[in-house]
């Protein structure tokens, strides 16, 4: 039977993306194939307007500006 653990995937900036699974290696019991940028400790719960971010060995929460519209200052175009 294949074992697996839950891991928490981040993007290249360390921002939490989603929960996924890491499967145990067939020939190396107790060792899991954790994807690059994923961590075994869960991110903290965050209030609206914030997002979990991985920095070093810990999670922190930061303001979430991913949906904030941006404009080009010289043309004022979105």
Residue 12 structural domain: 4-63
pLDDT tens-place string over residues 16-64:
999 999 999 989 888 999 999 999 999 999 999 999 999 999 999 999 9
State how many domains the chain has.
Answer: 1
Residue 48, in any domain of the structure = yes
Whether 47 maps to a domain, the answer reads: yes
Whether 75 maps to a domain, the answer reads no
Q: 27-40: b or e for each residue (b if 16 or more CB lie within 10 Å)? A: eeeeebebeeebbe
> For residue 74, what pLDDT band results from cuts at 50, 70 and 90?
confident
Q: 4-8, 24-28, 50-54, 73-77 — which is least confidently predicted?
A: 73-77
pTM, entire model:
0.82
Q: Is residue 15, in this structure, part of any structural domain at all?
A: yes
**Tokens, residue 62:** 């930061």
pLDDT at 42: 98
């Amino acid at each position: 039977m294949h074992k697996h653990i839950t891991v928490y995937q981040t993007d290249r900036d360390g921002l939490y993306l989603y929960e996924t699974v890491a499967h145990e290696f067939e020939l190396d019991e107790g060792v899991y194939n954790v994807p690059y940028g994923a961590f075994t400790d869960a991110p903290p719960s965050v209030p609206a307007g914030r997002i979990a971010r991985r920095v070093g060995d810990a999670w922190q929460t930061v303001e979430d500006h991913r949906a904030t519209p941006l404009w080009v200052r010289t043309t004022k175009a979105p």
